[in-house]
């Protein structure tokens, strides 16, 4: 089949959703399918690839890593012209939350195509973390999306909050998927979609095998902790670094990633002078990031309520590395192999870091469950998503005959 994916950001830019889409494309092609990825053109660097449809876009960050494309007739014409030179489309897979989602849904509606929408984002939590007036932003976002999609403000389920917005995106689709059970249940509870399929974001089979899981029971010594992610408020990097200082642990801490809080993070470390050594590595290629995770004694994930899966801790578990987890929902799905932080305070995080450091030093750190490694292989996740595609295509065909 020919699968067309729509994203908010170019898949060669940094981000968990982009990594997931690149992997999905590769494993779908490996299984004999054709994939086209439609997303805004990235301005930071050239990204030539026959599978990409790079939309006209405007950069939205100073580093030009991220950009946006405006939904509307002009973009519609660009997409249609690009797709006219490609094989007929069997299914549209929207993996976007903002402009990419609107562009993708407009394309599917114009051509009567079945749509699978993967919900990657808790938009309410993300916007609350980065916008000074989140309620106003969400109200404007809902109004904008209704106008672009041609939906009346009096339509059932309409509103002005984050869940109303996700209900709007899910209107008329053939399937909704989520990358974790806890997020899927939230989507169902809030009326976004009646039954949401859980299809976890996968881990590259080849890279997972090459990363070489360290032997069980690492030698006791100075703990090595890794924090991986985008340096923005919802990821809670600054509270993590504050907790490192408060905890007094003597450990080697590596921060992998980039983003708007990079300077603030470095300033905090210079000001607080923690007992731990803190190294800012910057962005790394995906295989190298996995190797750093495999070599660490623990991965630390500090976001709360924002992550719809929390991919990093599952990558860590697949590589035999336990995790310090602040989000109780993620910790619950991860199972063993985690230290769970009691609450959102720096005191609680510092206490958990001390406990983790003590356990690592004494050789009593919890071991991740062996099932995680096989469960999150991308090959198995691709097979699960293909089943969703086939069901969406079949359902649309039945409705069309009716």
Return the domain boundaries, the chain.
2-202+377-400, 205-376
Residue with tokens 């310090």: 324
Over residues 73-97, the mean pLDDT reads: 97
Please check the confidence at residue 214 and state whether its pLDDT lies above 90.
no
Please check the confidence at residue 224 and state whether its pLDDT lies above 60.
yes
- Token pair in block for residue 364: 């009593």
Over residues 197-214, the mean pLDDT reads: 78
Please check the confidence at residue 276 and state whether its pLDDT lies above 50.
yes
The phi and psi torsions of 139 (rounded to 5 degrees) equal -65, -45
Q: Which of 197-206, 208-217, 275-284, 309-318 has the highest mean pLDDT?
A: 275-284
What's this model's pTM, rounded to 2 decimal places? 0.80
Over residues 111-122, the mean pLDDT reads: 93
Please check the confidence at residue 110 and state whether its pLDDT lies above 70.
yes
pLDDT: is 212 or 240 the higher one?
240
- pLDDT at residue 234, rounded to an integer: 84
Confidence of residue 74 (pLDDT cuts 50, 70, 90): very high
Tens digit of each residue's pLDDT (9 = 90 or more) over 346-364: 999 999 999 999 999 999 9
What is the chain's mean pLDDT, rounded?
91
- pLDDT at residue 200, rounded to an integer: 87
- Token pair in block for residue 358: 């003590």
Q: Rounded to 5 degrees, what angle do the CA atoms 377, 121, 138 make?
A: 175
Q: What is the CA radius of gyration of the chain?
A: 21
Tens digit of each residue's pLDDT (9 = 90 or more) over 160-170: 999 999 999 99
- pLDDT at residue 220, rounded to an integer: 60
Tell me which of 30-39, 95-104, 275-284, 329-338 is least confident.
329-338
Please check the confidence at residue 61 and state whether its pLDDT lies above 90.
no
Query: What is the secondary structure of 185-209 as a DSSP string?
Result: HHHHHTTS-SS-EE----B-HHHHH
Tell me which of 28-37, 125-134, 210-219 is least confident.
210-219
Please check the confidence at residue 177 and state whether its pLDDT lies above 90.
yes
Over residues 233-242, the mean pLDDT reads: 93
Please check the confidence at residue 217 and state whether its pLDDT lies above 60.
no
Over residues 251-257, the mean pLDDT reads: 95
Please check the confidence at residue 305 and state whether its pLDDT lies above 90.
no
The CATH architecture one would assign to domain 205-376 is 3-Layer(aba) Sandwich (3.40)
- Compute the distance between CA of residue 56 and CA of residue 41 in angstroms, rounded to an integer: 6
- Compute the distance between CA of residue 91 and CA of residue 258 in angstroms, rounded to an integer: 34
Whether 397 and 349 have beta carbons less than 8 Å apart is answered as no
Percent of the chain with pLDDT over 70: 95
Q: Are strands 58-59 and 67-68 parallel, antiparallel or unpaired?
A: antiparallel
- pLDDT at residue 211, rounded to an integer: 64
- pLDDT at residue 400, rounded to an integer: 56
Give the H/E segment covering residue 78: helix 73-83
Over residues 296-319, the mean pLDDT reads: 85
Whether 54 and 64 have beta carbons less than 8 Å apart is answered as no
How far is the CA of 252 from the CAs of 200, 218, 220, 231, 276, in angstroms?
Answer: 31, 15, 14, 19, 6
- pLDDT at residue 397, rounded to an integer: 65
Over residues 148-174, the mean pLDDT reads: 90
Give the domain 2-202+377-400 fold: Rossmann fold (3.40.50)
| Residue 84 CB partners (closer than 8 Å, separation 6+) | none
Same fold, 2-202+377-400 and 205-376: yes
Beta bridge mates, 280: 255
Dihedral angle, C-alpha 280, 297, 271, 128, nearest 10 °: 80
């Amino acid at each position: 089949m020919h699968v067309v994916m729509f994203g908010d950001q170019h898949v060669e830019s940094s981000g968990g959703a982009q990594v997931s889409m690149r992997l999905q494309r590769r494993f779908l092609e490996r299984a004999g399918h054709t994939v086209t990825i439609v997303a805004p053109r990235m301005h930071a660097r050239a990204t030539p690839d026959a599978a990409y449809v790079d939309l006209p876009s405007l950069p939205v960050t100073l580093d030009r890593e991220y950009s946006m494309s405006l939904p509307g007739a002009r973009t519609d014409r660009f997409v249609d012209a690009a797709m006219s030179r490609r094989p007929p489309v069997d299914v549209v897979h929207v993996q976007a939350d903002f402009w990419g989602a609107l562009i993708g849904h407009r394309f599917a509606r114009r051509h009567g195509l079945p749509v699978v929408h993967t919900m990657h984002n808790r938009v309410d939590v993300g916007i609350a973390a980065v916008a000074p007036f989140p309620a106003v932003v969400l109200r404007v976002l809902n109004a904008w999306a209704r106008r672009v999609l041609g939906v009346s403000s009096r339509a059932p389920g309409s509103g002005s909050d984050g869940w109303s917005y996700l209900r709007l995106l899910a209107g008329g689709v053939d399937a909704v998927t989520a990358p974790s059970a806890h997020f899927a249940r939230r989507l169902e509870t809030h009326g976004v979609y009646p039954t949401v399929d859980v299809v976890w974001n996968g881990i590259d089979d080849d890279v997972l095998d090459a990363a070489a899981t360290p032997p069980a029971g690492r030698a006791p010594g100075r703990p090595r902790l890794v924090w991986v992610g985008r340096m923005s408020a919802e990821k809670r990097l600054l509270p993590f670094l504050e907790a490192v200082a408060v905890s007094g642990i003597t450990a080697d801490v590596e921060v992998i990633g980039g983003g708007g809080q990079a300077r603030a993070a470095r300033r905090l470390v210079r000001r607080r002078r923690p007992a731990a050594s803190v190294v800012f590595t910057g962005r790394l290629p995906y295989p190298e990031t996995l190797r750093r995770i495999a070599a660490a004694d623990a991965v630390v994930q500090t976001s709360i309520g924002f992550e719809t899966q929390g991919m990093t801790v599952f990558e860590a578990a697949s590589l035999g590395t336990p995790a310090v987890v602040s989000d109780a929902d993620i910790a619950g799905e991860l199972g063993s192999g985690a230290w769970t932080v009691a609450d959102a305070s720096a005191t609680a995080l510092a206490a958990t870091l001390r406990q983790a450091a003590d356990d690592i030093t004494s050789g009593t750190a919890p071991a991740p469950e062996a099932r995680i490694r096989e469960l999150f292989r991308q090959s198995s996740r691709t097979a699960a998503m293909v089943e969703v595609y086939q069901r969406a295509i079949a359902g649309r065909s039945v409705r069309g005959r009716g």
